[in-house]
Amino acid sequence: MKLFIYTPTFNPRIRYIFAYLFGHYLQTDYRMTASVSEFASFEGIKFSYAPQPIGDEPWVWQHPLLLEETVEPQLIKLFKFRDSSAFFGTDDTRSLVPFDLFAASFYLMTRYEEYLSEQRDQFGRFQPKNSLAVQAGFIGKPLVNQWIIELMKLMFHTETFSDFSPRKFTYSPTYDIDHAFKFRHKGFYVNLGGMAKNLFHGELGLMIDRMLTLLRLRRDAYDTYGFIFMLNKRFKMESHYFILCADKRGKYDRNLPLTNKSFRRLLIRMEQNGYIGLHPSFAAGKDLSLIALEKESLEAVLHHFVNDSRQHYLLLRMPDTYRALEKVGIGHEYTMGYAGRPGFRASVCTPFNFFDLLRNEESDMVIYPLIYMDGSFNDYMNLSPHEAVIEIKRLIDEVKAVRGEFISLWHNNALSNKGHWRGWRAVYYSTLEYAFRD
């Protein structure tokens, strides 16, 4: 079934948001026109998007945001719509919905507010507490997806998703490999220094663990790859592994060098069980010129082009980070999420193209929105494993309801089931079972 849309103005912003909502997300057959006569003669399902309706057709009121070409402070007045939040509202009761959901969706997806805010944390990241989604209480909802579904229900006079979209729910597991191994393969002097440090601080248990691991009497705590590969087979998943390969070691960049033979063998195993992407170092997050060097180093080891990437510490500056990644040939980017809060940073749960607001143009680079990171629950929110399971299942329900793509982030060390992460392996397994149940 085809949907026909009239709008008097075509520009990059309007083309972008309509392409995402109807083409990429809903996968609906739609067409747009600026011809009043062509629109009037169409006898199927249609609506107009303009400041005023043409006649008595279904109509959505147009806010001026999508007609602009610059980034300016916007007046945001929140109100309730279908048990959720909305803004860019209108009092004109002729509009199908009481707000411009296309302008509001564009505002949220492009991270418009991040271009205007100077507030950052100690790492230079935009903080979730400063976002409209957190302040208004909809960070836990894929609001953009929910809005367009409500509009389509009105247009198609149905409550059944499949009447207007073939989309299905999917789950995409991803892993950041910041520390491939805890003790093994790090060399004699590194471990000797580590044991001396353990002894000095009275960490006898840690020192014994190190010795038993090095003597191969105990598995390395961070070697959780067998468990990860088993999950791939058990749930028929295709995993993405993002590899930290900093040129120089630093406080936040402490993975094994790519010259390490054991590390290289691990990368071969990962490629047999999924896809490898770049995890630009903390240093590269500050100095974006380093991304190219790290990407070339990883490609030299893998002997093929690397197309996927996620920033270490989720270091993301709009639009500079995305521009730098696109410049070196990254086509798929997985950073769009918050370290400190689970949920929907861009208020969507399916991939979408990056739109550079300062250039007012759409990029070919696709953003894959992250829904939660393991450390958000354990390190930032101090939740128990049981509390985390409840929250993850709630997020899964939200994504299933709009047939989105659920992307999780775990670190191999978080699946060790030891120390700070005791009990968290069960969190991951049980929530995967929940996601894949019929």
pLDDT in 10s for each residue of the chain, 438 residues: 689 999 999 999 999 999 999 999 999 999 999 999 999 999 999 999 999 999 999 999 999 999 999 999 999 999 999 888 999 999 999 999 999 999 999 999 999 999 999 899 999 999 999 999 999 999 999 999 999 999 999 999 999 999 999 999 999 999 999 999 987 777 655 655 555 677 667 776 666 766 666 678 788 889 999 999 999 999 999 999 999 999 888 888 988 999 999 999 999 999 999 999 999 999 999 999 999 999 999 999 999 999 999 999 999 999 999 999 999 999 999 999 999 999 999 999 999 999 999 999 999 999 999 999 999 999 999 999 999 999 999 999 999 999 999 999 999 999 999 999 999 999 999 999 999 997
- Separation of alpha carbons 136 and 186, rounded Å: 47
Give the pLDDT confidence score for residue 207 in this predicted structure.
Answer: 61
The token pair at 100 is 């411009």
Bridge-partner residues for 2, per DSSP? 29
Say which residues have a Cβ less than 8 Å from residue 268's Cβ, sequence separation at least 6. Answer: none
Co-location of 227 and 343 in the same domain: yes
- Rounded to 10 degrees, the C-alpha dihedral 8/51/141/375 comes to 70
Co-location of 155 and 177 in the same domain: no
pTM over 0.75: yes
In a domain, 56, yes or no: yes
Give the pLDDT confidence score for residue 311 in this predicted structure.
Answer: 98
- Separation of alpha carbons 336 and 73, rounded Å: 22
Q: Which of 239, 229, 231 has the alpha carbon at shortest distance from 173? A: 239
Co-location of 174 and 143 in the same domain: no
Co-location of 243 and 362 in the same domain: yes
Q: Which of 314, 306, 299 has the alpha carbon at shortest distance from 409? A: 314
Q: Which domain holds residue 12?
A: 2-162
In a domain, 147, yes or no: yes
Co-location of 257 and 139 in the same domain: no
Give the pLDDT confidence score for residue 340 in this predicted structure.
Answer: 96
Give the pLDDT confidence score for residue 206 in this predicted structure.
Answer: 67
Co-location of 22 and 122 in the same domain: yes
Distance of CA 177 to the CA centre of its chain: 17
The token pair at 336 is 């769009």
**Domain limit, last residue, from 113, 131, 162:** 162
Co-location of 317 and 396 in the same domain: yes
Co-location of 359 and 293 in the same domain: yes
Distances (CA, A) of 296 to 98, 203, 292, 303, 306: 50, 39, 6, 10, 9
Co-location of 131 and 174 in the same domain: no
How many C-beta atoms surround the C-beta of residue 238 within 10 A? 11
Give the pLDDT confidence score for residue 195 in this predicted structure.
Answer: 58
Q: Which residue has the tokens 């849309």?
A: 5
Give the pLDDT confidence score for residue 191 in this predicted structure.
Answer: 53
In a domain, 215, yes or no: no
Distances (CA, A) of 193 to 163, 305, 407, 415: 64, 37, 38, 26
Is residue 82 a contact partner of residue 148, using CB atoms and an 8 Å limit? no
Q: Which of 64, 105, 65 has the alpha carbon at shortest distance from 81? A: 105
Bridge-partner residues for 274, per DSSP? 239
**Domain limit, last residue, from 118, 133, 162:** 162
Q: How many domains does the chain have?
A: 2
Q: What angle do CA 120, 124, 130 make, to 5 degrees?
A: 25
Co-location of 125 and 178 in the same domain: no
Co-location of 87 and 228 in the same domain: no
Give the pLDDT confidence score for residue 112 in this predicted structure.
Answer: 98
